[in-house]
Amino acid sequence: MDRQTNPDRRMNLDIDWTSCQGHGLCAELLPEHITLDEWGYPLLDGTPVPARTVKRARRAAADCPVLALRLAPAQAG
């Protein structure tokens, strides 16, 4: 199994709704996983972030002005 598709390296996105201000930056940085709802808040597509996208996802998380976007290892299996 190559490291691009290895399920052990996938990550899940998670929003801390008590912090998120709907800045929408995350949707610009990670459009294939995050869109915005009609009020400007992020809608996650619910799929794990594949290994090849994890680096960009980390950027998006670090760039969220209130650090509301988080990454956690996807459950194996």
Partner 1 sequence: MTATFPDLYMSPRLLAPGAAPADLPTHHQRYGPLSHGDPEGVLRTVAESGLTGRGGAAFPTYRKLVSVAEAGRRSGRAPVVVANGAEGEPASRKDKTLLRLSPHLVLDGLQIAAHAVGAGEAYLGVEDGATWLESALAQRSGDPLPVTVVRLPKSFLSGQASALARYVSGGAALPAHPSPPVRERGVHRAPTLVQNVETLAHLALVARYGADWYRSAGTPAQPGSALCTVHVAGHEPRVTEAPYGLPLTRLLPLEDASAVLVGGYHGTWIPAREAAELTVDAGYLGAGVLAALPVGRCGLAETARVLRYLALQSAGQCGPCLNGLPRIATAFAALAAPGPQGTVRTDLARWSGLVEGRGACHHPDGTVRLVRSALTTFAAEADAHAHGHCTATDRTALLPVPQEA
**Binding residues vs partner 1 (CB under 8 A):** 14-22, 37-41, 43, 70, 72
Site string for ligand SF4, 46-75 (x = CB under 6 A): ------------------xxx-xx------
| SS3 label, residue 20 | coil
The residue (of 2 and 38) whose beta carbon lies closer to partner 1 is 38
User: Among ligand SF4, partner 1, none, what does residue 14 contact (CB within 5–8 Å per kind)?
Assistant: partner 1
Classify strands 11-15 and 34-36 as parallel, antiparallel or unpaired: unpaired
Which of 40, 39, 42 lies closest to 17, judged by CA? 42
Residue indicated by tokens 């915005």: 36
Q: What are phi and psi of 44, to 5 degrees?
A: -85, 145
**Could you list the residues that contact ligand SF4 (CB under 6 A)?**
15, 17, 20-26, 42, 64-66, 68-69
